[in-house]
Amino acid sequence: MDRVIWFDQLGRDDVALVGGKNSSLGELVRHLAPAGVRVPDGFATTADAYREYLGTDGLRETVRDQLARLHAGAPLAEVGAAVRAAVLAAPLPEALAGALTEAYAELARRAGQPDPDVAVRSSATAEDLPEASFAGQQETFLNVRGPEALLEACRRCFASLFTDRAIDYRERLGYDHLTVALSVGVQLMVRSDLGGAGVMFTLDTETGFPEAVVVSAAWGLGETVVSGQVDPDEYLVFKPLLKDPALNPVLSAQTGPKRCKAVYAEEGLTRTVETTPEERAARVLTDPEVRNLAEWAVAVEAHYGCPMDIEWAKDGRTGELFLVQARPETVQSRRHGGVLRRFRLTGSAEPLLRGIAVGEAIGAGPVCLLDSPVDLDRFPEGAVLVTGITDPDWEPLMKRASAIVTDHGGRTSHAAIVSRELGVPAVVGTGTGTTALADRRPVTVSCAEGAEGNVYAGRVPYETTDTDLSALPRTRTRVMLNLADPAAAFRWWQLPADGVGLARTEFVVAHQVRVHPMALVHPERLSADERRRVDALTDGFADRTDYFVDRLAAGVARIAASRWPDPVIVRLSDFKTNEYAGLVGGRPFEPVEANPMIGWRGASRYYDERYREGFALECRALRKVREELGLTNVVAMIPFCRTPEEGDRVLAELAANGLPRGGNGLQVYVMAEIPANIVLAEQFAERFDGFSIGSNDLTQLTLGVDRDSDLLTHLFDESNRAVTRSIEHLITTAHEAGRHVGLCGQRPSNDQAFTRFLVRAGIDSISVTPDSFATVKQHVAEAERGL
């Protein structure tokens, strides 16, 4: 009987022999280590060795009798405790103990250390399969040193096959408890206690967007990330651009607070300590390290042929990176791609608190505030579970919850992983959930509004819609998306859209940047209070302008990546002066205008000395997206350009800031929203590569109607013949010059007749909000059939 097998002799077909975790480690060592992926050396006990152990001292019969009691109605906690006690009381067979001791001695020889510290991990023969995830249900022991400590850790791993949570999970999935065996993996430790560790997924865990690698990172051993004790850094990498070594496809790097870390204990195995202020403010990984990990992740995914969930570690002594576990991702990969289900709030309320959204659903119910797991009958079915963090002991309660809220944890925490698998919406890492929410008060938990999850007071009405993507027709006219919130961009990746017709940078500036760009260039013009607010937002940036560039670039890049390689038309800033003044530090830089709607906005700002330096920051952000990150599908669009000569001045500013029209394939569009854009369309077409009709402003200025006036609502009509003739003239003139014409207003979403008009007029593209996409696509197809 083989009781111990080295990783380099195992492969992923050996699940029945050494469990999912250890067979996967063997696969990594045998097939990916030769390609440069570093995996620590080690060995595994076999399922036969576990069955041999069960055969000692009548242990198998004891386990069977106790499980029979469970099926007869005995409490799970009582049965689990009895089984674990029996397992721990049984000595390891002499042959198995000897094989473990010999293998550990050989590992010590290979490592060149007398008693190397090792990780001892449980690996069940039914775990880490594409249809089920047993992650975290059995025990792992870190910093195990010496043969005696190893043997004790192995017995404790065997006993952990019968934790209450593991028994419950197997019961739920219908696995026979005695046919599931347990292998113990013994692996050299990576000294991440002196460096960092974390988890990465080869897709976006909330939306299933397949072109991303999401990396979570914290200081110290990785257990704090997996358990949710720490709010980690998060890095987003765009896979398609990893192939070009000249590019940096790290789209965003979000520094988490990382308030604690797990390190080696002087006595015992590990302990958790607080991080220093410097550690909390610093990134765990550099961009090159993130890229290195992402490249490994893509290689692992390609080898396995499915999305992967991977654990990594960085040795603080050598700086080397390692992969320490890899398993198939089990949530998004099981979703059916033919139907897109979306939740949407139909009522409104002020959020009580915010955190990281897990999933895309909405749930509501009374708050059940707990600091430790309780008996199932004490947790009301459909309640909202609110606690600090969760671990596998919470899973029976989590299955009964309508939603989950935690104070701590990131996207790879236990609460996040399990809630995704259960399909329960969760908002994690709120910081104050257990103090801000009152027990038994009804709340609504929404994960349907992007990457940020919200918890609202009361039961806010919501709806669910299903879109059959396979039923959507093909059309000659491009149907594109209007997107503003980068956090929500990945939600719509499955829609067969032809790109993004309007990405508004104002949303990113207002919500992600929040600071007026000129306040970063000229902080001396700010009041003391404004300086403090700007300093707080830009903390960690030696050059405050880098804050604006990085935040804006990250937002634009996320939108551009969501539709790659289709065009993404990014409109440069079009705040009105009153809106700009509302940004942090904005008031000193903005005049008070009687009518900001037709005042100092759009193109007229870009070459003006009062804003030119701010526009330069916008250009830096766009250059970073296109040239450093490599997202050359971004098209620049100029809003509210009043004259062709003004267009010349703006194009000159773009060129002066490293964005010449045509350079590196850059196209520059202009908004057609002023009657002058229509009347002088031929001259504008000489300067720009395309037009995007802003039907709201065009209607307002053509009819002389204030679009915000309740008194004139009956006169505001995009289908008025004065407006439609303008659109027809623009399309004809632009097409004669070989220029693209699109429309990015709301009217096609609400008016099928207006959609028919646009198609008959020969519009090249129509851009609508994602929730209107399916309807407009159908209307466009019907209009094209009528031509």
Please identify every residue annotated as catalytic: 414, 744
Quote the DSSP letter at residue 12: G
Pairing relationship of beta strands 196-201 and 308-314 according to DSSP bridges: antiparallel
Scan for tokens 């001695």, then name that residue: 105
Give kind and range of the element (H or E) at residue 89: helix 76-89
In angstroms, the CA 558 to CA 453 distance is 18
- Phi and psi torsions of 128, nearest 5°: 55, 35
Pairing relationship of beta strands 212-219 and 233-238 according to DSSP bridges: antiparallel
Nearest to 284 by CA among 413, 192, 393, 414: 192
Question: What does the DSSP assignment read for 165-217?
Answer: HHHHHHHHHT--TTT--EEEEEEEPP-TTSSEEEEEESS-TTT--TTEEEEEE
The full 3-state SS of 227-296, as one line of letters, equals: HCCCCCEEEEEEHHHHHCCCCCCEEEEECCCCCEEEEECCCCCEEEEECCHHHHHCCCCCHHHHHHHHHH
Question: What does the DSSP assignment read for 402-429?
Answer: SEEEESS--TTSHHHHHHHHHT--EEE-
How far from the centroid of its chain's Cα atoms is residue 768's Cα?
24
In angstroms, the CA 84 to CA 88 distance is 6
Strand stretches in 639-772, DSSP E: 668-672, 690-693, 740-743, 765-768
For the record, the structure tokens of 286 come out as 């550099």
Quote the radius of gyration of the chain (alpha carbons, Å): 29
- Exposure string over 304-340, b if 16+ CB within 10 A, otherwise e: beebbbbbbbbbbeeeebbbbbbbbbbbbbeeeeeeb
For the record, the structure tokens of 374 come out as 């309780």
Residues 6+ apart with CB under 8 A from 710: none
Pairing relationship of beta strands 690-693 and 740-743 according to DSSP bridges: parallel
Nearest to 249 by CA among 282, 203, 305, 295: 295
CA distances from 45 to 121, 123, 138, 182, 232 (A): 11, 10, 15, 8, 33
Whether a cis peptide bond, with omega within 30° of 0, leads into 565 is yes
Q: Please give the span between the terminal C-alpha atoms of the chain, in angstroms, as a whole number.
A: 76
For the record, the structure tokens of 196 come out as 């960092």
Total Cβ atoms within 10 A of residue 580: 26
Quote the DSSP letter at residue 112: T
In angstroms, the CA 49 to CA 100 distance is 11
Nearest to 614 by CA among 472, 701, 506: 506
**Could you tell me if 785 and 477 are in contact, meaning their C-beta atoms sit under 8 angstroms apart?**
no
In angstroms, the CA 315 to CA 656 distance is 45
Burial classification of residue 587, based on how many CB atoms lie within 10 Å of its CB (0-12 exposed, 13-18 middle, 19 or more buried): middle
